Structure 1
Amino acid sequence: MENSKQEIITRDIALKIKHKVYSPGEYLPSENQLSELYGAARNTVRKALGDLMDLGLIQKIKGKGSLVLDIQRYSFPVSGITSFKELNQALGMDAETKVLHLEELDKLPANLSIEEIPAKKVFYLERLRLIDGEPAVLDRDYLLNPPVKSLPLAAAENSIYAYLEDELGIKISYATKEITVRKVDDYIAQTLHLDHDKRAVLVFSKTYLEDTSLFQITASYHNPDEFSFNDFARRRKI
């Protein structure tokens, strides 16, 4: 699937922010200038700037323009639902994914038994994320069948969310996340090249569909030396 003009603009500006073409504290060119630069409608540029705001890369200042915010290169947003591939593209990380294991299980492992999940089959997927060739994240995903009735290796290597949404028509809605620091076993420690302390940051997520049904459980083990975790929040009056 080709990227839309909006996605191309978002990614290009994000890369320019990363490489300090647009430095923190500076303003981006105006919407009119960006429209001319990218050969795009002003409304398309405006939507791309909205994406950059959601990523925490810019802040729109009334009467002045889009101010570039100070970001950290490998800061993962913890409150959103964003795939690793999407982050890699948006933030311009030199990242790759290696599938270590993919199989269908008859049920969830006993240590993950959750009352809201009936006994059903799950796809178990284990992937290693590398940044600049160094192991940074070990992801363990459990996807319930149904609604996930198939999970090809090609989708696991690329983006499971793109496959679920674009191919299977699954509508992903929201997630809950818990972040802790845990002592891990030898396998995880060796895979992530952890020191003798064998501690990793664990992000445990449960992801739900539009009908509020749980369909995915993820345990992400992060090398604490490689990543920082930030939540970029905007004020929304209730």
Structure 2
Amino acid sequence: MASQNKFMKIYEELAQAIDEKKYRVGEPLRSENDLAEQYNVSRETVRKALRRLRETGYIQKQQGKGSIVLDQTRFDFPVSGLTSFKELMTVKAKATTTKVIRNEEQVLPLEISKRLGMRSDTPVIHLTRVRFIDDEAVIIDDDYLAKEFVAEMPTKRAEDSIYDYMEKDLGLTIDFAHKQYTVEPVTLEDQQLLDLHGDTHVVVVRSDVHLENTAFIQYTISRHRLDKFRFVDFARRQNK
């Protein structure tokens, strides 16, 4: 019982320290030897505490690095529906900011025009935004907005919500989207713009969005940090 109490005490203290952000995400805990000396217990007792931390999702073991602190705050991102980043984070009551790093006119890139079966000279506004949650860069959004319906995109409105601008200011009715989800290796731009903490892959969501008359309005490539989001859906089995 004494041993049980010791390892649980260590577990609870370390878990509390992680919850209070005394350890940063991706940072290693002290070594087994150091913890055993700190708590005046055997290494086996420390291992039990660390095992408990792994089982409850606080840490993971990495070869050559020891016990690495995991992120405890993942956000559920709905697979179905068209929910903007602002709408999602408002529900979660999280402090967020958006930085616009590109807002320029061009034509639809060839790869995207082929994917959508559209003319490659379709004029669009290319908008690139980096999303921050708690001052960490976690999403890159690349948007291509059809100039037929969006003649310009004020940067201030893009920092807030492009859907709010399109629906309230322009009077457009956004209706549906086709989405594709993949996990892909990080790019040079990902490394430059996102706080990756050593991640080698990101979740990429490609969406083509349409108005109620089926007209194309937006193509988005959204690159999400792997450890920050869970993509969720509600599914109902159809009667045969």
Q: In which range does the TM-score fall when normalised by the shorter chain?
A: 0.5 to 0.7
Matched to 2:75, the amino acid is Y
Q: Distance in 1 between matches of 2:238 and 2:88?
A: 24
The equivalent position to 2:151 in structure 1, one of 149, 169, 176, is 149
For normalisation by structure 2, the TM-score amounts to: 0.64
For normalisation by structure 1, the TM-score amounts to: 0.64
The change in CA–CA distance for 1:150 and 1:193 in structure 2 (over 3 A counts) is same
- Do the aligned residues in 2 keep the contact of 1:185 with 1:198 (CA within 8 Å)? no
- Offset at residue 141 of structure 1 (A): 0.3
Q: What pairs up with 1:1-238 in 2 under 5 angstroms?
A: 74-105=75-106, 107-114=107-114, 115-118=116-119, 119-194=121-196, 198-233=200-235
Matched to 1:165, the amino acid is E
- Do the aligned residues in 1 keep the contact of 2:74 with 2:227 (CA within 8 Å)? no
- Offset at residue 235 of structure 1 (A): 6.7
- Offset at residue 189 of structure 1 (A): 2.2
> SS in structure 1 opposite 2:207?
strand
The count of corresponding residues between Structure 1 and Structure 2 is 166
> SS in structure 2 opposite 1:218?
strand
- Do the aligned residues in 2 keep the contact of 1:183 with 1:198 (CA within 8 Å)? yes
> SS in structure 1 opposite 2:128?
strand
CA deviation vs aligned residue, 1:65-118 (integer Å, no higher than 9, x gap): xxxxxxx8611112110111111111212221111111111x112232235323
Q: Distance in 2 between matches of 1:161 and 1:237?
A: 35
> SS in structure 2 opposite 1:113?
helix
> SS in structure 2 opposite 1:111?
helix
Q: Any unmatched runs of 5+ in structure 2?
A: 1-72
- Offset at residue 186 of structure 1 (A): 1.2
Q: Distance in 1 between matches of 2:198 and 2:84?
A: 30
CA deviation vs aligned residue, 1:177-235 (integer Å, no higher than 9, x gap): 00001113212123113355631110000101111121110000000011111113467
- The structure whose Rg is larger is 2
The change in CA–CA distance for 1:159 and 1:237 in structure 2 (over 3 A counts) is farther
Report percent identity of matched pairs: 42
Give the superposed CA RMSD. Answer: 2.0
> SS in structure 1 opposite 2:221?
strand
Matched to 1:109, the amino acid is P
- Offset at residue 151 of structure 1 (A): 0.9
> SS in structure 2 opposite 1:170?
coil
- Do the aligned residues in 2 keep the contact of 1:117 with 1:214 (CA within 8 Å)? no
Q: Distance in 2 between matches of 1:148 and 1:221?
A: 23
More displaced stretch, 228-237 vs 204-213: 228-237
The change in CA–CA distance for 1:89 and 1:149 in structure 2 (over 3 A counts) is same
- Do the aligned residues in 1 keep the contact of 2:74 with 2:229 (CA within 8 Å)? no
- Do the aligned residues in 2 keep the contact of 1:183 with 1:197 (CA within 8 Å)? no
